[in-house]
Structure 1
Amino acid sequence: MLIDTHAHLNAPQFDEDRQQVIERAQQNGIRRIINVGFNRETIPSSIALAEQYDFIYSAVGWHPTDAKDMLPEDLEWIESLCQHEKVVAIGEIGLDYYWDTSPKEVQDRVFREQIRLARKVGLPIVIHNRDAHHDVVQTLREEGAAETGGVMHCYSGSWETAKQCLDMNFYISFGGPVTFKNAKQPKEVLEKVPLDRLLIETDAPYLAPHPYRGKRNESAYVRLVAETAAEIKGISVEELAEITTRNAMDLFRLK
């Protein structure tokens, strides 16, 4: 049993064969999927997917690259959705200094507002962090994010940054990039992350693992991430699956 803790199966890349993709995930032992909606367009379709399938849940939030588009009523909308029985987290939220689509100060404001919302409603947060390690950690600390905890999605930072996140009650999640042959740092960090704080994901349709690198990713491929993680940790795939599944069930309070 595996859990894909971060996917975007509502993305247009799946419009032609979404049902088959979901069936392949089930056939490969994926028993839960956290599907992420991150702006005005993707939040409703992520909720709809979670309503359609018992084993799919949703996270809702506002992505940093879209921060400039978020209005006060959008934050109120997200808060109202937090009452939905299939919404298990706020995310993905954070900072992205790679894509120059929203000013840093706007990203910062939107990030902080959503951390405060998570504390208000008592949900964990899913963090998107690209080229903004210092500022993400500082903001999480300043806003008391340890109160909610959450997950550092598709982690790409250093072990030093990971340690700071672990100290704030966060899980560290790895996706397809950790399977790449040249992924020295992610492999080294995964080796050090405590088993009780480890999660796995796909970020489908993005970041497909080896040997599908460069192709469309899908939830069934989380098994390949599990195999790599188990090898790095020196344990069986079955044990890795059991541990990461338990971690995800605890974090997202899944039945």
Structure 2
Amino acid sequence: MCDESRPGPVDFHCHLDLYQNMEAEYTRCEAARCLTLAVTTTPKAFARNAEMARTRRFVHAALGMHPQLVAQRASELSQFEELAPSTRYIGEVGLDAGRRFYPSFERQKLVFERVMALCARLGEKVISIHSVRTAKQVLDVIEKTGAHRTCVPVLHWFNASGAEIRRALELGCYFSVNEQMLLAPRGRNLLETTPIERLLTETDAPFQSDKAPGDVHGAIRLIAKEHNLDDSAIEARIRRTATELLAE
């Protein structure tokens, strides 16, 4: 039984709709009081996720246009633009210059710029952003569109140089981090550079096959070790940050 007095974990980037039993995952996160941002990869997937989230207190559905799918789904951009005014939560969006997806990179940039310009114009969006091999380009788009002035960019699994991390902080970005990334040198550098109040935990489940949604204990331990604090203090700080960002 859930302990109602104990706050649950924060999973600020996971894909509940990619599980075979999506409804069961929504129900499990809610029962665990896991403050969850359930990102989507296409606009067509948003309606079902929004329906699931509507009756739940702790799980929020985000409207996405994943860069890895732009080559096949760019035609859904108009649907994204129609849906965007109906939600505060945007994700997963961004850029991917990995070898497999680089052929669509120019189209990705056009789509991402339109998405971020729309978010900047609408305002009050919390945006979960993908940035594989594109840290500089993603930050350029955030700055060019002015989305950082009216919205909250949250950089998911941000693998970047120290200078890029500092630039992201100056733009007001937050970072959602997971255990796997924090074990890598650039992840450790991000942890050393970033104030606790700009950090959120994530799993990116099911893409980390050993992590279920909400299983952020490993990331919490690493953050706590870096800052010489108890796990519970880190959990409480991250929960407070997530609660503030997700408040309607």
TM-score by length of structure 1 reads: 0.83
Contact 1:10 1:49 in 2 (8 A): no
1:136 matches 2:141: no
| Aligned partner of residue 219 in structure 1, secondary structure | coil
Residue 167 of structure 2 aligns to which amino acid in structure 1? Q
Provide the rounded CA distance (Å) in 1 between the counterparts of 2:25 and 2:63.
24
Shift of residue 190 of structure 1? 0.8
1:3 matches 2:10: yes
Aligned partner of 1:168 among 167, 171, 181? 171
| Aligned partner of residue 10 in structure 1, secondary structure | helix
Residue 19 of structure 1 aligns to which amino acid in structure 2? A
1:19 matches 2:24: yes
Correspondence for 1:228: 222
Residue 39 of structure 1 aligns to which amino acid in structure 2? T
Q: Which runs of 5+ in 1 are unaligned?
A: 208-214
Contact 1:96 1:129 in 2 (8 A): yes
Provide the rounded CA distance (Å) in 1 between the counterparts of 2:220 and 2:51.
28
Distance of aligned partners of 1:19 and 1:78 in 2 relative to their CA distance in 1, 3 Å threshold: same
Shift of residue 45 of structure 1? 3.3
1:35 matches 2:38: yes
Contact 1:65 1:102 in 2 (8 A): no
1:47 matches 2:50: yes
Contact 1:67 1:102 in 2 (8 A): no
Provide the rounded CA distance (Å) in 2 between the counterparts of 1:80 and 1:242.
36
Shift of residue 25 of structure 1? 7.3
Aligned partner of 1:150 among 153, 172, 178? 153
| Aligned partner of residue 150 in structure 1, secondary structure | strand
Distance of aligned partners of 1:102 and 1:39 in 2 relative to their CA distance in 1, 3 Å threshold: farther
Distance of aligned partners of 1:190 and 1:236 in 2 relative to their CA distance in 1, 3 Å threshold: same
Distance of aligned partners of 1:16 and 1:115 in 2 relative to their CA distance in 1, 3 Å threshold: closer
| Residues 238-253 of structure 1 mapped to structure 2, 5 A cutoff | 238-253=232-247
Provide the rounded CA distance (Å) in 2 between the counterparts of 1:195 and 1:60.
27
Cα distance per residue 1:16-38 (max 9 Å; x no partner): 586268537744xx431110012
Correspondence for 2:115: 114
Correspondence for 2:4: none
Provide the rounded CA distance (Å) in 2 between the counterparts of 1:247 and 1:143.
25
Provide the rounded CA distance (Å) in 2 between the counterparts of 1:223 and 1:118.
32
Residue 93 of structure 2 aligns to which amino acid in structure 1? I
Shift of residue 102 of structure 1? 5.1
Cα distance per residue 1:153-176 (max 9 Å; x no partner): 122212211111111111012113
Residue 110 of structure 2 aligns to which amino acid in structure 1? R
Residue 67 of structure 1 aligns to which amino acid in structure 2? V
Shift of residue 245 of structure 1? 1.4
Shift of residue 223 of structure 1? 2.3
1:70 matches 2:74: yes
Residue 90 of structure 2 aligns to which amino acid in structure 1? I
Considering only aligned residues, what root-mean-square deviation do their CA atoms show, in Å?
A: 2.3
Aligned partner of 2:162 among 148, 159, 166? 159
Shift of residue 242 of structure 1? 1.4
| Residues 93-112 of structure 1 mapped to structure 2, 5 A cutoff | 93-98=93-98, 99-100=100-101, 103-112=104-113
Q: Percent identity?
A: 23
Provide the rounded CA distance (Å) in 2 between the counterparts of 1:226 and 1:186.
13
Provide the rounded CA distance (Å) in 2 between the counterparts of 1:233 and 1:83.
39
Distance of aligned partners of 1:90 and 1:40 in 2 relative to their CA distance in 1, 3 Å threshold: closer
